[in-house]
C-alpha cells in the first residue's frame, strides 16, 4: 500500500480527506455509512430521508457547493456540463468547508455530484483519497424512475456520464471500486477490505450500516443495455473489487 500524505494536525485542513464516489442510487450511502462506522468522520450529515431509511450520509454544505458549481457551468446533477470550472469563490468555499474540520484525522464527504466537480477538490487538496462504488445500469434506471421520474433513456445516459468519470479517474489514480450488485456478505467483506487498506477499521461488526432490505431494485429482468453502457459496466466489473 503506498504511503499516504498526512497533513499537519494543526493546519487549516483535515489530516486526511477521503471522497466517496459513485453515481446516484448506486450504493454511495451504504459505502459512506459503512466507512463512517469504521472511523471516517462525515461531519453534519443526513441520517434519514424518504428515499433512504438510514440517510444518504451527505453533508448539505458540500451538496450546496456542488450544485452552485454545476449551475455556474450551465449544468446540474442531471445535466452534467461538458467542462466544469471552479471560480475563486468556489475554491474559497471549498477551503472553508475543510477548515471546519481542521485537524480531523479522517474526514470525508459523499455526494454523487463529486464525480462532476472532482478536479476542484484535487486542486484544493492534492492528496485527496478516493473510494468508489457502482451498480448495474438497469437497477439505477429503475431507482431513478421511482425517485426522480427519469426515463430509462435519461437514466442510462446519466449512468454512463457518472461512471465514465469514475472509471477515468480510476485509470489516473488507482483506488478501490466496489460492486453494489454483490450479495450482502460479499459486499461487506470487500468493503471491510477496502476500509482496512485505507487504515479504517470497523468498530462494531455486530452493528452494520447496511442490510439487504435497504436495496429496493436490482438489474434483473431489464432490457438489453446500449453497447457503450454495457461495455463500461463490464470494465468496472473487471477492474473493481
| Domains of the chain by start residue, with CATH | 17-200+208-239 (3.40.50.300)
Q: According to the model, what pLDDT value does residue 222 have?
A: 66
* Mean pLDDT within 222-240: 93
Question: How many other C-beta atoms are found inside a 10 Å radius of the C-beta of residue 66?
Answer: 25
Q: Hey, what's the cell of 113?
A: 455530484
Collapsed DSSP state (helix, strand, coil) of residue 199 = coil
**Residues contacting 103, CB < 8 A, separation 6+:** 9, 10, 11, 14, 15
Q: According to the model, what pLDDT value does residue 213 have?
A: 52
Residues of the chain with pLDDT > 70, as a percent, come to: 82
Q: Is the pLDDT of residue 6 over 70?
A: no
Task: Choose between 44 and 50: higher pLDDT.
Answer: 44
Q: According to the model, what pLDDT value does residue 50 have?
A: 47
Task: Give the predicted TM-score (pTM) of the model.
Answer: 0.87
Alpha carbons 134 and 178: distance in angstroms, whole number: 6
* Mean pLDDT within 17-26: 96
For CA atoms 189, 180, 37, 98, the dihedral sign is positive
Question: Strand 107-110 and strand 177-179: pairing?
Answer: unpaired
Collapsed DSSP state (helix, strand, coil) of residue 198 = coil
Residues 90, 69: contact at Cβ < 8 Å? yes
Alpha carbons 177 and 218: distance in angstroms, whole number: 18
Alpha carbons 102 and 77: distance in angstroms, whole number: 28
Question: Strand 17-21 and strand 107-110: pairing?
Answer: parallel
Amino acid at each position: 500500500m503506498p504511503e499516504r500524505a498526512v497533513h499537519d494536525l494543526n493546519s487549516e485542513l483535515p489530516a486526511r480527506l477521503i471522497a466517496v464516489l459513485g453515481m446516484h442510487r448506486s450504493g454511495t450511502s451504504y459505502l459512506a455509512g459503512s466507512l463512517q462506522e469504521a472511523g471516517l468522520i462525515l461531519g453534519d450529515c443526513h441520517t434519514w430521508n424518504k428515499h433512504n431509511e438510514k440517510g444518504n450520509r451527505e453533508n448539505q454544505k458540500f451538496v450546496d457547493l456542488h450544485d452552485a458549481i454545476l449551475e455556474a457551468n450551465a449544468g446540474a446533477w442531471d445535466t452534467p456540463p461538458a467542462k466544469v470550472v471552479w471560480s475563486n469563490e468556489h475554491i474559497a468555499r471549498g477551503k472553508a468547508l475543510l477548515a471546519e474540520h481542521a485537524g480531523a484525522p479522517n474526514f470525508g464527504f459523499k455526494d454523487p455530484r463529486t464525480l462532476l466537480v472532482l478536479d476542484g477538490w484535487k486542486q484544493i487538496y492534492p492528496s485527496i483519497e478516493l473510494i468508489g462504488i457502482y451498480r448495474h445500469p438497469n437497477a439505477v434506471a429503475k431507482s431513478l424512475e421511482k425517485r426522480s421520474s427519469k426515463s430509462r433513456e435519461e437514466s442510462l445516459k446519466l449512468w454512463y456520464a457518472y461512471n465514465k468519470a469514475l472509471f477515468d479517474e480510476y485509470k489516473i489514480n488507482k483506488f478501490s471500486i466496489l460492486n453494489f450488485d454483490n450479495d450482502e456478505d460479499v459486499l461487506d467483506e470487500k468493503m471491510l477490505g477496502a476500509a482496512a487498506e485505507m487504515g479504517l477499521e470497523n468498530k462494531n461488526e455486530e452493528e452494520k450500516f447496511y442490510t439487504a432490505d435497504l436495496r429496493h431494485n436490482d438489474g434483473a429482468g431489464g432490457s438489453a443495455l446500449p453497447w457503450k453502457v454495457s461495455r463500461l459496466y463490464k470494465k468496472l466489473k473487471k477492474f473493481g473489487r
